[in-house]
Amino acid sequence: MTTTPRTARHLLRDREASLILGAVLVSGFGSSATALVAGVWVKELTASDSLAALATAALWAAVPAAPWLGALADRFPRRHLLVATDLAAAALLLLLAATAAPGRLWLILTVLVLYGVCGTVHDAAGTALAATALDPRLLGTFNGLRLTANEGMKLLAPLTGAALFTWYGGPAVALLDALTFLCAAALYTLLRTPDPVPEPRPGRRRRPRGPLLPPSPTLRTLVTAGASTMLLAGVNGASLYAVVDAGLGRAPSWAGVLYAVQGAGSVATGLTAGTMMRRLGERGFAAGGCALFGLGVAVRALPGDATVLAGSLLIGAGLPCVLIAALTAVQRETPADRLGVTAGRVHTLLYAPNAVGLVAGAGLVAVTDHRVLLTVTGAAALGCAVVPARGRGVRSGEAEEVPGR
C-alpha cells in the first residue's frame, strides 16, 4: 500500500469504488424521483394535502428502527444484502405501479413504508461494505463523491420525475425507479471484495448488543456536532417558505431555486471533501462546515435575492461536512463485525433530530419573525462549530488499525 495521497482520480481508478459509486448514482436517481412523486401521486389520487404529506412521511418511517435494521448488515453478507434489498425495492415499486388506486391507499402507504425499510437496510450495508472494500485512505473521498452523486441526482431526478409524472402518470415513475434498482443490483453482483464472515451469535436478542457507539472520542464528538447541526437544519428548513414569501416577496415555487443553489453547494463540498479532510482533519472539516452552515442561515435573514441565494449556497456547502466526517469516522473506527449496527445507530442519531427540528421550526415560524429565528439559529450553529473544534482531530487516513478489520 503506497503512501501517496488519494484523490478522486485515484478513487475512480479503483474498480470496487467505481462499481459502488455507479450503483449509488443509478439508484439515487430513481429514489430522488420517487421521493418527489410519492406525495404528488397520492395528492392526485385522493385530493388530500394531509394524505400527500403522510405518503412522504411514510418513506422516512423506518429511520427510528435503523439500529435494528442496520444490524442485518452484521449478520448477513453485505454484498448479498445490497443485491437483495435492491431487488426487493424494485419488486415493491412494480407492485405500486400495478395496484395504486384511490381505494387502495393503505396498500400504497404500506409499500412506501417497506420501500423506506429497504433503503435503511441498504444504507447501513453500503456504509459497512465500503469500509471493508476500500483502502481506508479513500474513505473520505469516497463519502464525498457519494454525497455528490446523491445531491446531483436530487437536482436532476425531480425534474425528470415531475415531467414523466405529468406525461405518463405515477406508474411510469415507479417503473423507472424499479429499473434503476435492478441496474444497481447488477453492479453490486460484479464486486469481487469478499465479505467478512459473520460471527455466529448465540440465541436471539431483540436489541443490538454493545455500547451505543464505539469508544472513540472523535466519533462521539462528530456525532454530537452532527445531531445538533441537523436539529438546527430542520428549523432552518421550516423557515424556507417564510424567507421566500415574507423575505423576498416571491411565489412559493421560488423555493425550488433555493434548493437548487443549496444542492450546488453540496456538490462542490462533496467533490473536495477528501482533500479538505486530509488538510484539516475530520474535526477541523466538521467545524468549518458547521461555521459555514451557521453563517449561511444568518445571511438568509437579510433581504435581497442575491443575499439569500448566497446564504443558500453556504448552507449547501457547510451542512454536508459534519455528515461526511461522521460517516468516515464510523467506517474508520468501528470493528468490521459491528459496522452495520453502528451505521444504523449513527443514521438515527444524525437524521432523527432533523425531523424534530422541522416540527419545532414549523411552530416557531408561526409565532416568530423569520429573521429573528434565522439569526438565532445561525448563531447556535456557529456555536456547534466549537464542539468538533476542541482538540485535534485524527486526519483522514492516519488512524491506527481498528481491531477486527
Question: What average pLDDT does this structure show over 198-222?
Answer: 65
Considering the domain architecture, whether residues 175 and 250 belong to the same structural domain is answered as: no
Tell me which of 189, 206, 227 is where a domain ends. 189
- Per-residue pLDDT for 5 more than 70? no
CB 167 within 8 A of CB 2: no
- Backbone dihedral region for residue 207 (phi beyond 0: left; psi -120 to 50: alpha; all else: beta): beta
- Flag whether 204 is in a domain: no
- Flag whether 3 is in a domain: no
**What is the DSSP track for 121-172?**
HHHHHHHHHHHHHS-GGGHHHHHHHHHHHHHHHHHHHHHHHHHHHHHH-HHH
- Flag whether 49 is in a domain: yes
C-alpha atoms less than 13 angstroms from C-alpha of 96 in its C-beta half-sphere: 32
Considering the domain architecture, whether residues 141 and 252 belong to the same structural domain is answered as: no
Instruction: Tell me the per-residue pLDDT of 283-293, one tens digit each, with 9 for 90 and over.
Output: 999 999 999 99
- Domain count for the chain, please give it: 2
- Per-residue pLDDT for 401 more than 70? no
- Flag whether 400 is in a domain: no
- Flag whether 285 is in a domain: yes
Considering the domain architecture, whether residues 300 and 372 belong to the same structural domain is answered as: yes
d(CA 352, CA 338): 21
**Which H or E element spans position 192?**
none
C-alpha closest to that of 83 among 235, 195, 231 = 195
Considering the domain architecture, whether residues 120 and 185 belong to the same structural domain is answered as: yes
* pLDDT category of residue 402 using cuts at 50, 70 and 90: very low
Considering the domain architecture, whether residues 170 and 232 belong to the same structural domain is answered as: no
* pLDDT category of residue 7 using cuts at 50, 70 and 90: low
Considering the domain architecture, whether residues 94 and 231 belong to the same structural domain is answered as: no
C-alpha closest to that of 384 among 311, 326, 308 = 326
Q: Is 369 helix (H, G, I), strand (E, B) or coil?
A: coil
Instruction: Tell me the per-residue pLDDT of 290-332, one tens digit each, with 9 for 90 and over.
Output: 999 999 999 999 989 999 999 999 999 999 999 999 989 888 8
Cell of 37: 412523486
Instruction: Tell me the per-residue pLDDT of 56-110, one tens digit each, with 9 for 90 and over.
Output: 778 778 888 888 888 888 888 889 999 999 999 999 988 888 876 666 778 888 8
- Flag whether 210 is in a domain: no
Considering the domain architecture, whether residues 136 and 242 belong to the same structural domain is answered as: no
> Cβ of 148: how many Cβ atoms within 10 Å?
23
CB 14 within 8 A of CB 35: no
Cell of 3: 503512501
Question: What CATH number should be reported for the domain holding residue 298?
Answer: 1.20.1250.20
Considering the domain architecture, whether residues 354 and 248 belong to the same structural domain is answered as: yes
Question: What average pLDDT does this structure show over 128-136?
Answer: 82
d(CA 117, CA 221): 28
Considering the domain architecture, whether residues 165 and 19 belong to the same structural domain is answered as: yes
Considering the domain architecture, whether residues 185 and 61 belong to the same structural domain is answered as: yes
Considering the domain architecture, whether residues 221 and 182 belong to the same structural domain is answered as: no
Considering the domain architecture, whether residues 232 and 351 belong to the same structural domain is answered as: yes
Tell me which of 189, 204, 235 is where a domain ends. 189
- Flag whether 209 is in a domain: no
Name the residue type at position 312: S
Question: To the nearest 5 percent, what fractions of the chain are helix, strand and coil?
Answer: 80, 0, 20
Write out the residue range of the structural domain in which residue 179 sits. 12-189
Q: pTM of the prediction?
A: 0.76
- Flag whether 72 is in a domain: yes
